[in-house]
């Protein structure tokens, strides 16, 4: 018996789809940075800033280039 059958069928299968993880993009790294003990808080602020900049950069680059990459792959060599 599969996991989807044991846990309720299609609804459980939808919960395990790759699309369900899109909301976590960057969430783990933000949580890790916020868990760093820092007496002055300056290191945490610097790491959070860098973390969010990398997050935004990756989202923008991936979002702006995905159509080009897909078209290039589908068109062949």
* Centroid of chain to Cα 62: 11
Domain boundaries, the chain: 3-75
Cβ-based neighbours of 12, under 8 Å, separated by 6 or more: 3, 4
- The pLDDT of residue 8: 57
Rg (CA), the chain: 19
- The pLDDT of residue 25: 66
* Centroid of chain to Cα 35: 19
pTM of whole model > 0.75?
A: no
Please tell me what DSSP assigns to residue 76.
-
- The pLDDT of residue 26: 73
Written as tens digits, the pLDDT of the chain (77 aa) is 555 555 555 554 455 454 444 556 677 888 888 888 877 678 888 888 898 888 888 888 888 898 898 998 998 76
């Amino acid at each position: 018996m599969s996991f989807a059958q044991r846990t309720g069928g299609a609804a459980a299968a939808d919960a395990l789809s790759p699309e369900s993880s899109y909301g976590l993009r960057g969430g783990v790294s933000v949580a890790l940075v916020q868990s760093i003990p820092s007496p002055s808080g300056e290191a945490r602020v610097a790491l959070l800033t860098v973390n969010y900049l990398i997050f935004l950069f990756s989202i923008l680059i991936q979002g702006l280039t995905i159509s080009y990459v897909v078209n290039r792959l589908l068109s062949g060599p």
